[in-house]
Chain A
Amino acid sequence: MIFYNGQRYDTKQQGELLDRLESELNEILTHGTPPLPRTIIDACESLATKALSGLFNEELAGLGFEVGPMAQRIEEAASIMRKESLEAKVLEELGPEYLASDIPSPASMSPAPRRVLTPPYDHGRTLTKQRVPLGVLFHIAAGNVDGLPAFSVMEGLLAGNINILKLPSADNGLSLRMLEELVKEAPELAPYVYVFDTPSDDLPAILRMAGFADGIVVWGGEGAVETIRKFAPPGVKLIEWGHKLSFAYVTEQGITDENLASLAHHIIETRQLLCSSCQTVFLDVDLSDDGMDNTPDSSPAMSKLVEFCERFLPILEDAVAKSTPLDIGSTAQVTLRLYTQTLEGHAGHFGRRIFRGRGCSITLCEEGSPELSPQFGNVLVKPLPRKRLLPALREKKSFLQTAGLLCGSDEREELSQLLFRAGIIRVTGPGSMSHTTALDAHDGEYPLIRYTRIVETRD
């Protein structure tokens, strides 16, 4: 299904719609007034209310949500779409004048506030600056967070852009429904929203959409990312979110039942599918401290690692028991992977020890660097002493996102600053690694800033 300028079309009509799109976009850019933040904020507020009253339950049920988790998800999503949240977001990212600029001055078609500056050493001449939308944004959204494609478009709208969205194949109609409802709330948004369900391998169509765009917003995880990196029109602004790995860092003081339970809950709840999901648990343990006399298995540092795995496994199992069972396809994928690793171990291709639990596992690794786990409750445990933390993380600096800290309160500040210097973007407690609010930066940057540009008028 395609949603184009306020109307639904059949997927088959993609070609003819794309034929029309460029001249229609030019028409809107020529004559249209970009939507005001206030318009979108009000529409989102109504949408949040509708979501809470069950408007999207059918789509969410189609995605496999059960009633309890579904209500929780809706509440979380709605809290980000509420008026207070979005106002705070615009205020934080763009500044107060963008909320105040709701009534465009009659002289200007653009709502963008102006700032008149007098640059030093320029003979008193003025330079007028405005932050204006990029123009046309092409969003390539990932399917790992339900409804994320719609949120990406809402952010694009908040910054005043026309939005073309390529849905992930796993979307199941939720994002299209959300955007359709949004446009129902504020019909003037219709010319600013174009949603296509193009499959990721339809390269010609994706490239045509990319060709219309001033900025391409790529959410990590979608198969089209590689394609876009290779084929995006030269010079187009590529805004990539995601492609990140996250981990937990655990010091001796941080090993408490409460902390481990929170971490286990996070791992099982997110199924390790998010950029902010914990893939690896680093222990502040130094294997190189072990003398040469010790065999690797009996060394004190190794015993600490083994002890940790043995303590954490039942806690992880407990979290699995309380969670919604995994679907059969994902279960099979994990089982197959662990079985393959077992065989590889027998043939000497794989030297890691696996602790198996019910619906989860811990793989003990001897070297310490961030790595993707098998996911779905199968976590890696690695030694990483504090003194080697920075060099080890710097090797992967462009892929780092969230670090969940399990440590004593007197260690927290020092470790946080060390993690930030190593490239980490967010430091959290053990259970809140994937907690999101309206004020979060994406990967260390404000999206509304990146979806806009500064234009200048010189006298």
Chain B
Amino acid sequence: MGTRRKLFTWKDMYDTAGTEALFTSAMRDNCTFQYEHCPEYKQLLDGMGFHPSQLQTPEDLGKLPPIPTTYLKAHTLFSMDQKKLPIKATSSGTRGKKSEIGLDWGAVFSGASMILKVGRYFRFFSLTPHNYLVMGYEPHKSNKTAVAQTATGYTHMTPILHREYVLKYGPDGYYVDFDGIIKALDRFSRSKFPTRFMGFPAYTWFLMEKLKEQNLRFPLPKGSKIYLGGGWKQFYKEQVDKRDFYALAKDRFDIDESNVVESFGAVEHPIWYSDCNNHHFHVPVYSRVIIRDVNTLEPLPYGQIGLVNLLTPMVYACPLLSIMTDDLGILHEPGSCSCGVDSPWLEIIGRVGMVDIKTCAAGADDLRKGAAL
């Protein structure tokens, strides 16, 4: 497992060009382990006619059969004794389907050194106490999803003065509490310490719209930031032009565009992607992205749209080496962003499927399953 440690402690987190051989070796080591310890994964590779020893050059990474997240939602795959794993997490699955994954100690250490590296790189850590507006779920034992835990987790990057949640847990489950957030904003804007927003972009946008409607402005202290993560969830229809978002953040909170930070990640690919000054998700050394043709699943060149396949050797507990998401995206070539980072960057275009059209035939199938017919 030495190759993984070497990769996750690599000095320059965007040196993808300098880590190609190391990444491939780490993938081969991990793949060999999965092949030997997860019988179902071995069946999949055998069935697709692939053997871990075929991973020799970076080009070979495209030949490794990716496992769709939909597969992991239907079938749980583990390569280690689940009881001995330090962390288990589930994805925030739509329609009740969740994938269940675990992290081994090595993955936890790798993740920790990645978080330290990313946090330092983007100057997320600070000794200055902060107020927090978590635009996500208040922790509660009924909610085991990773997204609920990460939003709160991120509030530990600085000392915490006060934490206010938009999704509060009441007697009838979760409810949206904008009034509580507005009261907190009023207090925070008069504090001498900065404020950080954490969580779902959609709620932050709705909050700003509400403030605009009520003609309220809360200029926040210098150093305040908005962190966005967890996707737009069910509010994709409200997905706004990012320009409008930044303009409104400046207008309502006096937060500059450079202090609006978006992150991207998935339970099945626990790598922290954070956006650059141009709001692009550059690929860090811990991860590789392959965009695949929507018909043939063959890898596509830079600049073309296709299915997003994410690769990392981080986790040994489950075969998450090469995950096929249900996102459509584009990988832009190295050096095409003016922020100074040379690694390629990923642009997420949308989800597979016809947006929000559930057909009547499909509706019948849902009902049929619901009635257990």
Contacts and interface: CB of A to CB of B under 8 A. Distances in A.
A and B bound?
A: yes
Interface of A: 12, 142-144, 168-170, 199-201, 219-223, 225-226, 242-246, 272-275, 277, 279, 327-333, 335-337, 339-340, 342-349, 359, 371-372, 375, 395-396, 399
A242 B67 contact: no
Given A347-B44, A372-B364, A330 B354 contact: yes
Interface string B336-360: 0000000000000011111111111
Given A329-B351, A330-B353, A343-B65, A275 B361 contact: yes
Interface string B67-100: 1101100110000000000000000000000000
A340 B70 contact: yes
Nearest to B354: A330
Interface string B360-373: 11111111101001
A144 B360 contact: yes
Given A223-B358, A244-B361, A329-B353, A346 B44 contact: yes
B363 A170 contact: no
Given A199-B237, A343-B47, 15 more contacts: A143-B357, A169-B356, A201-B234, A221-B358, A221-B361, A242-B363, A333-B352, A339-B297, A340-B68, A342-B47, A343-B44, A347-B40, A349-B74, A371-B365, A372-B361
Contact of B294 (A170, A331, A349): A331
Contacts of B324: 336, 339
17 contacts: A144-B358, A170-B356, A200-B356, A242-B364, A243-B364, A273-B359, A329-B355, A331-B295, A332-B352, A333-B326, A333-B354, A336-B68, A340-B74, A343-B67, A344-B71, A346-B44, A375-B361
A257 to B, nearest CB: 27
Listed residue (B294, B306, B365) with the most chain A CB atoms within 10 angstroms of its CB? B294
B48 interface: yes
Given A12-B213, A347-B44, A142 B360 contact: yes
Given A343-B71, A346-B46, A347-B44, A144 B359 contact: yes
B22 interface: no
Interface in B30-72: 40, 43-44, 46-48, 65, 67-68, 70-71
B118 interface: no
Q: Summarize B's interface: helix, strand, loop or mixed.
A: mixed
Contacts of B295: 331, 335, 359
Contacts of B361: 221, 244-246, 272-275, 277, 279, 372, 375
A314 B373 CA distance: 34
A277 B345 CA distance: 41
B305 interface: yes
A223 B74 CA distance: 22
A272 B234 CA distance: 25
Contact of B47 (A220, A273, A336, A347): A347
Contacts of B70: 336-337, 340
A272 B357 CA distance: 13
Interface string B138-167: 000000000000000000000000000000
Listed residue (A327, A339, A348, A396) with the most chain B CB atoms within 10 angstroms of its CB? A339
A399 B367 contact: yes
B182 interface: no
B300 interface: no
Contacts of B266: none
Given A223-B356, A327-B354, A335-B294, A346 B363 contact: no
